[in-house]
Structure 1
Amino acid sequence: MAATHYHCTSTLVSRSNPSFRLIHNLKLVNSNNSWLGTKIRVQPCILSVRPPVSVIHRRPVAATVSSSLPTSNSERVSPGQETPKWSSKAIKSISMAALEARKVKFTTTGTEALIMGVLIEGTNLANKFLRANGVTLFKVRDEIVNVLGEADMFTVCPERPPMTEDAQKALDWAVDKKLKSVDGGEITTAHIILGIWSEVDSPGHKILSNLGFNDEKAKELESSISKAVANDE
């Protein structure tokens, strides 16, 4: 009877460092021809170390977005005054806006996409205010089609759709508005919505207006900005 060879592979995951798996390839050789009993000889194992497929080095989204966020003109900053920072929820909203722009096949990230980003983030102050006043994500999407029309589904979108001029101005407005305030803190999603509202010719302003947002509600939203810290923004 010819000798029989068995191959066995086992995978061990390190408890101290689960990012790596130890893969042992054991070659088992049957060196006895008798069917009454076998003698197993284990050849030296081959040890290989490799990271699991799920471990992929990705650049954090927040870091990517924050590097392109607008900052106020340095000439406007008073001596000893620090340039205001963006809240984590505001940064995430802007990131989601770019993703949403790609989803609907827009080649740029406009004020309409910024509104969607704020609503998609879901836990921020501006989102709660808009929803309480009847401005929902589904309604905004419908209004985008009414104002801008449907995008060509065959359009090839860039990985990070650049900001439109009015979207950039809206974010610049948010930075400057916070810079002029004396309450400190960070730039929030409420500043983003107010910045969009300040761009009266932008699609975002038209969409908000069509959904019942007006100057009175803008003032109400602005007065609630001080509550942003209490709401963990």
Structure 2
Amino acid sequence: MASYSFSAIPISSSTSQPSHGNCSVFSAILPRHLNLYNSFIGCKLTVRLLSSSHLATKHRPALATVQFSLPTPKPKSDSSAKVPKWSARAIKSFTMAELEARKFKYPNTGTETLLMGILVEGTSIAAKFLRANGITLFNVREETVNLLGKSDMYFFSPEHPPLSEPAQRALNWAVEQKLKSGEDGEITTTHMLLGIWSEAESAGHKILETLGFDDEKAKELAKYMDKDYDFNLK
């Protein structure tokens, strides 16, 4: 059998050599398990060889968590229309919002961090519209601290900070607007942003208002409600 090398120490394959002392355990991306004997240090090395399919399942729970955290559209029982889904940009924006909440050590994913998530994702119409109107990630973060303050330095957010009530209502609004429109396509980050704006008492709405967003800009953005990307919008 051919020899395998994991470091500068030569390792030859063998199943007949006895093990001596404490043995190390390595992991590698290969389709099976091998027991390798290191003749230099006299130790049998158990190598766990993981298949690529095993590694692929590692990230599935996180993706499922994100999808289940976003409201699921519920069509009318007598409707045969296809149930709309959240766009890829909207899902990524939500994921980035959770990350921002953890960075700020906040206990919840609020409307303010949903707003940050849209800007961190950065490629959607909503994000481009905000930047075109002078609303940047830096400004939103700064206004968030001014409005909500800093969290206790010893507090640690959960891996997936739960939605605050205003944030949940904002996302529900986005879903409802999509269903009311009767249009094909996905629920976009524009729906998400306008959902934040619909929550007049929320931190996200107040931050947008402070930075110059208003009802006229909301109406202008609503024209792009069912799109998530436009090459002509810079």
**What is the CA distance between 1:61 and its match in structure 2?**
3.4
Partner Cα separation in structure 1 for residue 160 and residue 145 of structure 2: 21
Partner Cα separation in structure 2 for residue 197 and residue 157 of structure 1: 25
- Asked whether the 8 Å contact 1:77–1:179 carries over to 2, the reply is no
Partner Cα separation in structure 2 for residue 58 and residue 201 of structure 1: 36
Q: How many residues of Structure 1 are paired with residues of Structure 2 in the alignment?
A: 202
- Asked whether the 8 Å contact 2:34–2:49 carries over to 1, the reply is no
- Asked whether the 8 Å contact 2:102–2:156 carries over to 1, the reply is no
Please give the TM-score of this superposition, normalised by the length of structure 2: 0.76
User: Which of 18, 21, 25 is equivalent to 2:37?
Assistant: 25
- Asked whether the 8 Å contact 2:125–2:229 carries over to 1, the reply is no
**What is the CA distance between 1:59 and its match in structure 2?**
2.9
The within-5 A match list for 1:36-185 is 49-51=47-49, 57-59=58-60, 61-73=62-74, 76=76, 78-185=78-185
Partner Cα separation in structure 2 for residue 201 and residue 165 of structure 1: 11
Structure whose residues are more often strand by fraction: 1
Aligned partner of 2:62: which letter? V
**What is the CA distance between 1:101 and its match in structure 2?**
0.2
Aligned partner of 1:59: which letter? R
- Corresponding position of 1:205: 205
- Asked whether the 8 Å contact 2:125–2:230 carries over to 1, the reply is no
**What is the CA distance between 1:211 and its match in structure 2?**
0.4
**Deviation string, structure 1 residues 58-88 (Cα, Å, up to 9, x no partner):** 33533220012112455x5652123320001
1:58 partner SS: helix
- Asked whether the 8 Å contact 1:90–1:189 carries over to 2, the reply is yes
Partner Cα separation in structure 2 for residue 116 and residue 101 of structure 1: 9
**What is the CA distance between 1:49 and its match in structure 2?**
4.1
- Distance verdict in 2 for CA 1:116–1:23, change over 3 Å: farther
Percent sequence identity is 54
**What is the CA distance between 1:139 and its match in structure 2?**
0.1
**Deviation string, structure 1 residues 86-112 (Cα, Å, up to 9, x no partner):** 001101111111111011110111000
Partner Cα separation in structure 1 for residue 171 and residue 196 of structure 2: 8
Aligned alpha-carbon RMSD (Å) = 2.8
- Asked whether the 8 Å contact 1:77–1:83 carries over to 2, the reply is no
1:225 partner SS: coil
Aligned partner of 2:202: which letter? S
- Distance verdict in 2 for CA 1:225–1:23, change over 3 Å: farther
- Unpaired stretches in structure 2, ≥5 consecutive residues: 1-8, 14-27
- Unpaired stretches in structure 1, ≥5 consecutive residues: 1-6, 12-17, 29-45
Structure whose CA Rg is larger: 1
